[in-house]
Every structure is written in structure tokens, then in C-alpha cells.
Amino acid sequence: FTAVDVIRTKRDAGELRKEAIDWVIDAYTRGEVADEQMSALAMAIFLNDMNAREIADWTDAMIRSGIRMDLSSVGKQCVDKHSTGGVGDKITLPLAPLVAAFGVAVPQLSGRGLGHTGGTLDKLESIPGFDVTMTEDQVITQLRDIGAVICAASSDLAPADKKLYALRDITSTVEAIPLIASSIMSKKIAEGTDALVLDVKVGSGAFMKDEKRARQLAETMVRLGADHGLRTTALLTDMNTPLGRTAGNGLEVTESVEVLAGGGPSDVVELTVALASEMLALAGMPEADPAQALRDGRAMDTWRKMVTAQGGDPDAAMPSAKETADITADRDGIVTTMDAYSVGVAAWRLGAGRTRQGEKVQAAAGVEILKTVGEPVRAGEAVFRLHTDTPERIEPARQTLNGQWSIGTNPPAPTSIVLDRIG
């Protein structure tokens, strides 16, 4: 094979044979196929798609690019959750300890922020002392003792995805169903979990903007899971409005702790409980009541143990930003819309995300939503509070939000966050 032949086949909307896929993924991982060649192939896949057989072979090749973890010595059912990425999506933080409180092991190997979407690892690192790096032995011991682990995946797990993801991020080839499905499922299958719940986001703040494509993505991933003996279900959930009232690392940790204390915004609680119910059903506990475990402190106990075990101080104050600025309402009314994508971009510009690979994010930067969709507001009252350590970032964030939210007279029709279940 040569990379030029493989690229040409997909450029001309042909089908890639298994041998060609195995070769190109392996050669790319070893550095033999160059980034510019893989970029061209990713764009050809983006434009001309892949059939189910090609996606399955591509996913297999990505799994085989690295190690497979063996979680069999944990001695508990292992159930994981993965979100396709959203704005204000801090659900992993309350969810992992909540499900672990029922005796299930939750191995959350998580990622960093990507574009306008936040990353779980960046959020946890805003807790003083929290360390996201762990060896496989440490992961297994903590799963056995506490049940919940949220850490970075080892560099040997699906290394082809690590390289390819970074490339897609800078070549505008993220939003392709074959590429997203193989990226997520190769990591989860290599991780060795027994079951998986996918949170497939749809809407302005998601990579899939329309429901038909999000559904197709969910079905593709559920099928890949089944083919590998990984019990997988998916929830299709709304991402047109930010989740909860915060987007930004430390701000989202504070909000997650409120949920673990039995409070917090109702949409965050609703989604956390819905995903926990799915995970517990896959672990053979369809009757479990996760909402009760948030109210009675069991989930909080597990959170405190997990944070302490990973070097963090669960009682430490979260860092606060050097500068804050409010965006206020210009009239009385009801907040009727708030665009998730714009809130994500504003948080990113304030310093919650990166503009270059490897850049440090600000723990305290982000957007706090003081009045959310459906809530009344008076002229002059603050709707958003912007947080940053770099004052010159306030104005770009303000511009980003300009025109991306609205005040009306009639309350919007109530919407459900879970749109459908697949699998």
C-alpha cells in the first residue's frame, strides 16, 4: 500500500479494504504516514463517509494500535459513561461517585477540553492537589476500594486516536460520524469496561447539530459496542442550552459539589440521575434509586474518598478569578433562549480552554449564568457573570455572547433534556 493510493480511493468515494485500513492506521501510529496525508484521508472520509464494515475495521485497527486494559481483577461490574461533548457538561463529576456508591466500578478515563467543549480532566485539576495521572495498577486498586476513578488515559491506550484527534481538531474534520464513533469506541473497548452508556449530544453546543445525525452516530456506536461484546446503550440529550449554570473548570466543580450535596440545577440533576439509572440497569440493578443517593449523602461520601485518593483536598476553596464582569438585561421579561455554543466559546475565550496545544487553562475562568432560560429578569439585573484572570479577555467574551440570548414576554415551552434512548 501507499498512503497516496488509500487517499485516492476514499477521495473518489471508493470502499477501503480491511488490509488498507489496518496498514494506514498502523503506519500512521508509527509515523510512517505523515500528518498531511492523514489529514487528507480524514477530509476524504468526512466528505465521502464510510460504510458499517469500514467503520468496524477502522475501529478495530485503532484498538490494536495500543494496549488493552484488563479490569477483571477489580471484582465488580465495570460500567463507564462517555459524552460526545457539550457546554457546561460536568455530569461525569457527580455521576461517577454516584454510581460507585451502589457498588459498581466506574473507570472514567477522561479527556481535556476540545474547541468550545470543556474537558473533565481540566475541571478536576482546578481542585488543589488533584492528580489525573494514574498507573493501571492504581486504577484497579482504587476501583476495588472506592469504585470511582476519573483520570487520564495512558498514552498507550489507542495511541492512533490521540494522534488523529489532535489532527482532526486543527483540520476541521471532527464532525464526521465514522471518525467520532471509532474515536470514542476504540478507547472504551481498549479500556476493558463491561458496559457503557453513551450521552450523545444534539444541538448548537454539540458536534452533531441535528437529531437525525446524532441518532445515526448513537446507532453506529451502539452497534460497534455490541460487535465487541460491550453492552452499550445511548441517550440522545439536548445541547441547545448550556447544562446547568456554569461553563468553566473550577465553576463547574463547585456546581457538581452542589449536586452531590443534594442541590444544584435541576437539568444537571435530571441528566445525572437518568445516566446513573442506565448505568445501574446495565450493572443488573434496574431498581436502584440514584436520586435518593444524591439526597442522603452516599454519593458525596464516595466523591470525597475519590478526591482524597487522587491527591485532592475535598474541602479546599476553589480558586477565584482576578476579574469579573456582568452582562445585564436591558429590559424586564423572561429569558427565552441562550445559545450553548456561544456560551462555550465565551468560556473558552475567557481562559477556560486552549488556543494552542498544551496551553495551561485557567482554573477560575468561565461563564456563570445567573438567569437561565425560563427565569424572569428585570432591566439592569445581571444575566451572565464573566470570570477571568486576564482582563483583556472580557471584551471578546462579551462580544461572543452579544445577540446569542434573548428576553421575551412569554415563558418558553418546557423541554425535556433526554430526547430518546437507543440500544
Residues assigned a catalytic role:
82, 161, 168, 183, 187
Residue window 218-247: x/- pattern of binding to ligand URA, with contact defined by CB under 6 A: ------------------------------
Residue 155: Cβ-neighbour burial (10 angstroms; 0-12, 13-18, 19+) = exposed
Residues 6+ apart with CB under 8 A from 343: 87, 88, 205, 242, 247, 367, 369, 401, 404
Interface segment toward ligand URA; rule CB under 6 A; list 29-37, 179-187, 367-375, 401-409: 179-187
Binding residue count for ligand URA, defined by CB under 6 A: 8
Interface segment toward ligand URA; rule CB under 6 A; list 67-75, 92-100, 177-185, 188-196: 177-185
What residues are paired with 325 via a beta bridge? 386
372 interacts with ligand URA by CB under 6 A = no
- Least spacing, CB of residue 84 vs ligand URA, in Å: 5
Cell of 76: 465488580
Cell of 95: 455521576
Q: Contacting ligand URA (CB under 6 A), which of 184, 273, 275, 306?
A: 184
25 phi, psi to nearest 5 deg: -70, -45
The secondary structure of 80-129 as a DSSP string is EEEE---SS--THHHHHHHHHTTT-BEEEEE---BTTB--HHHHHTTSTT
Q: Which is nearer to ligand URA, 77 or 183 (by Cβ)? A: 183
206 interacts with ligand URA by CB under 6 A = no
- Least spacing, CB of residue 331 vs ligand URA, in Å: 39
Q: Which is nearer to ligand URA, 84 or 240 (by Cβ)? A: 84
Q: Contacting ligand URA (CB under 6 A), which of 16, 98, 180, 329?
A: 180
Residues 195/283, Cβ–Cβ less than 8 Å: yes
Q: Which is nearer to ligand URA, 124 or 179 (by Cβ)? A: 179
Q: Contacting ligand URA (CB under 6 A), which of 84, 220, 310, 362?
A: 84
Least Cα distance to 127 among 351, 364, 297 occurs for 364
Alpha-carbon torsion (279, 283, 289, 294), positive or negative = negative
Q: Which is nearer to ligand URA, 85 or 159 (by Cβ)? A: 85
Interface segment toward ligand URA; rule CB under 6 A; list 37-45, 47-55, 180-188, 372-380: 180-188
Least Cα distance to 160 among 53, 44, 39, 26 occurs for 26
Cell of 337: 433562549
Amino acid at 287: E
- Least spacing, CB of residue 179 vs ligand URA, in Å: 6
- Least spacing, CB of residue 375 vs ligand URA, in Å: 31
Q: Which is nearer to ligand URA, 58 or 102 (by Cβ)? A: 58
Strands lying side by side in the sheet with 79-83 = 79-83, 195-202, 231-238, 418-422
Q: How many residues does the chain have?
A: 423
Least Cα distance to 302 among 260, 341, 274 occurs for 260
Q: Which is nearer to ligand URA, 179 or 294 (by Cβ)? A: 179
Position of minimal CB gap to ligand URA: 183
Least Cα distance to 228 among 262, 259, 201, 193 occurs for 193
183 interacts with ligand URA by CB under 6 A = yes
160 interacts with ligand URA by CB under 6 A = no
Residue 315: Cβ-neighbour burial (10 angstroms; 0-12, 13-18, 19+) = exposed
Q: Which is nearer to ligand URA, 29 or 183 (by Cβ)? A: 183
What is the DSSP code (8-state) at residue 73? G
85 interacts with ligand URA by CB under 6 A = yes
Cell of 180: 467520532
203 interacts with ligand URA by CB under 6 A = no
- Least spacing, CB of residue 126 vs ligand URA, in Å: 21
Q: Which is nearer to ligand URA, 37 or 186 (by Cβ)? A: 186
Binding site for ligand URA (CB under 6 A): 84-85, 111, 165, 179-180, 183-184
